[in-house]
Chain A
Amino acid sequence: MHMVDLEIDKVWSDMEKLYRLEYKLLQQGNYEEWFQTMFTEDIHYHMPVVSVRENRDEAVRSENELSYFDDNHRTLHLRVRKFGSDMSWTEYPPSRTRYFFQIMDVEPVESNVFRVTSNIMLYFTRLDNVENFFVGEKSDLVRCENGQWKVTKRKIIIDKSRLSAHSLCVFF
């Protein structure tokens, strides 16, 4: 078997484990530990707005245009800390989240850096009657730091131009 295939297989298997841990933490509402576990100090966490355009390649808004998340380490942590406040009304009562993912591709980018692309789905409910599906794609640049994979760049595209949610009170 080719050396690169073995390497990719190993990363694929490592990322399966990491994403399962990630979603366990998010489902528990353990946002602080999620944040500390998953991201490098130079993280760029980006979720662009999707628009209805005539051409396929115009739908996802560019880096300088409107997005939901466009965060660095500091601002992402600010959001996480907001969730931890006892006056965060989207957390009291807590939401119910159930994440699903399927890694679609792992490709080497440079030494110790891989791009991992997944399809993701979040089934989200709140109170009695709030129910949302968030389905889309997650593209991570992951880097091995001290034997641990961490995400250095995350781009999330949720397949909606208009959110049917009253608040996007989740992380992806």
Chain B
Amino acid sequence: MIDLDSLVDPDRGLVSARIFQDEEIYRMEQEKIFGRCWLYLAHESQIPNPGDYVAAKMGEDPIIVTRGQDGKVHAFLNACRHRGAKVCRSDSGTSKAFRCPFHGWTYSCEGELVGVPRYKEVYFEELDKSKWGLVPVTKVDSVYGLIFGTWDPNAPTLQEYLGDMLFYLDLMFNRAEGGVEVIGGVHKWVIPTNWKIPAENFGGDHYHLLFTHGSGIQIKARDPLSNNGFLIFTPEGHSCGQEFAGAQRGEAVNSEYNNYIAEIKKRVAEQKGEVEAKLTPIGVGTIFPNLSFMDTMRFRTIRLWQPLGPNKIEVNSWCVVDKNMSDELKQIARRGYQLTFGPNGMFELDDGEVWMSITEAIQGYKGRTIDFNYQMGMGHEISAEEFFGKKGIPGTMNETFMHEGTHRNYYRRWKQLMMS
């Protein structure tokens, strides 16, 4: 029996390397984290019309997300109820039904078993089709078009799960008429590392910009990092933050999107307040467990760190734009994202190298016993309300912009789920 208490000590800022490479802990995570949390599936803009579908994953489970003929979003395990073959093998498309290539069992967009070949002849009509539909994801809900699913029938509502983070997600996804849409296509690449390493990184590691992304700073694709910003975490395990002047500012990469953001900030100031405008864009963050995002001066991206075992992930990364942006501005945002992030982005290139080397270092007898240090800023916490002098601004931050309170918070949440 693994003693998680001794391996994860967020209050002392210590987490054992073991949890980033252990097969047994990984198996437990599949049940206790991926089996119970709300997991991001897709965006509603990817499946606008009845019959539209997009492939997704919950942990290692392949999922189909559909727009039913009833206009509602449905999500199912992508495994035929007969004998398990995938009924959908494409990334996305439109289909009236899903037919398994193995024996031809056919399912509607709502997941019902509607066709069984030779039903009279060989099944004697004795198979109760109503009991053999595709396994539905237990709860499916969406916020700002972001579709989440959970297997846990006892899960809180999606709104409760996102909790205080909804305030910040509102600033990121709900600031233009018509909301957001996802640009077609997804960046997929495989990194040999544990899924929690990039998740905690995006959750609040601004410290790594100095060195991991030193090359980006050298060529002025990014301004040197100041110590002037906010980095908040919420009780549900989520976090986000950035410098006050905005993440991803860089003389070499300025675009018309800067002007667009300036307009947005003005509108937020008028409609919500000066503090809210200061917090827009909301920067880099993570929604527990494995959904990260960047809301910057040049683009927005959302991405999933999908686990493929304890030492491997598949990254799925999308570019998000406001529906009512001009086509030209959407393309400027997309190119801005691709230039700096994605598998060949000037910044993201270096992250893969670093994360990969962590995994390489901790496989051995000794490596798996070391503690990682998450002690930055311990004891210097301050509430966002206090910092900004405004009631209702949620989250805890630190006296200094850069801190590892977000990491400690993340592992507190992880530990709470793993030990319950």
Name A residues whose Cβ lies closer than 8 Å to a Cβ of B: 48-49, 51-54, 58, 61-62, 64-71, 75, 78-79, 81-82, 85-90, 130, 161-169
* Contact between A70 and B252, CB atoms less than 8 A apart: no
* Contact between A65 and B184, CB atoms less than 8 A apart: yes
Name B residues whose Cβ lies closer than 8 Å to a Cβ of A: 89-93, 95, 183-192, 211-212, 214-216, 218-219, 221, 252-253, 314, 318-319, 327, 330-331, 334-335, 338-339, 342-344, 346, 348-350, 352-356
Q: List 17 A-B contacts (CB under 8 A).
A: A51-B92, A51-B186, A64-B183, A64-B330, A64-B334, A68-B343, A68-B344, A70-B338, A75-B339, A78-B252, A79-B344, A85-B215, A87-B350, A162-B314, A163-B343, A167-B343, A167-B349
Instruction: Answer whether A82 and B346 are a contact pair too, CB < 8 Å, given A66-B319, A87-B215, A163-B190.
Output: yes
Instruction: Answer whether A167 and B183 are a contact pair too, CB < 8 Å, given A71-B339, A89-B354.
Output: no
4 new A-B contacts, CB < 8 A, other than A66-B338, A68-B338, are A53-B92, A81-B219, A90-B350, A166-B352
Instruction: Answer whether A163 and B185 are a contact pair too, CB < 8 Å, given A53-B90, A66-B334, A85-B215.
Output: no
Instruction: Answer whether A66 and B187 are a contact pair too, CB < 8 Å, given A88-B350, A165-B343.
Output: yes
Chain B residues positioned under 8 Å from A89 (CB to CB): 212, 215, 349-350, 353-354
* Contact between A52 and B191, CB atoms less than 8 A apart: no
Closest to A66 in B: B185
* Contact between B353 and A168, CB atoms less than 8 A apart: no
Closest to A79 in B: B346
Cα distance, A66 to B187, chains bound together (Å): 8
Min CB distance A14 to B, Å, is: 29
Contact of B191 among A49, A53, A166 (CB under 8 A): A166
Closest to B354 in A: A89
* Contact between B342 and A169, CB atoms less than 8 A apart: no
Tell which of A61, A164, A167 has the most Cβ of chain B within 10 Å: A167
* Contact between B219 and A66, CB atoms less than 8 A apart: no
Contact of A162 among B188, B252, B319, B338 (CB under 8 A): B188
Cα distance, A172 to B11, chains bound together (Å): 48
Closest to A76 in B: B339
Chain B residues positioned under 8 Å from A130 (CB to CB): 356
Chain A residues positioned under 8 Å from B355 (CB to CB): 166
Min CB distance A40 to B, Å, is: 19
Instruction: Answer whether A166 and B93 are a contact pair too, CB < 8 Å, given A65-B183, A68-B343, A69-B338.
Output: no
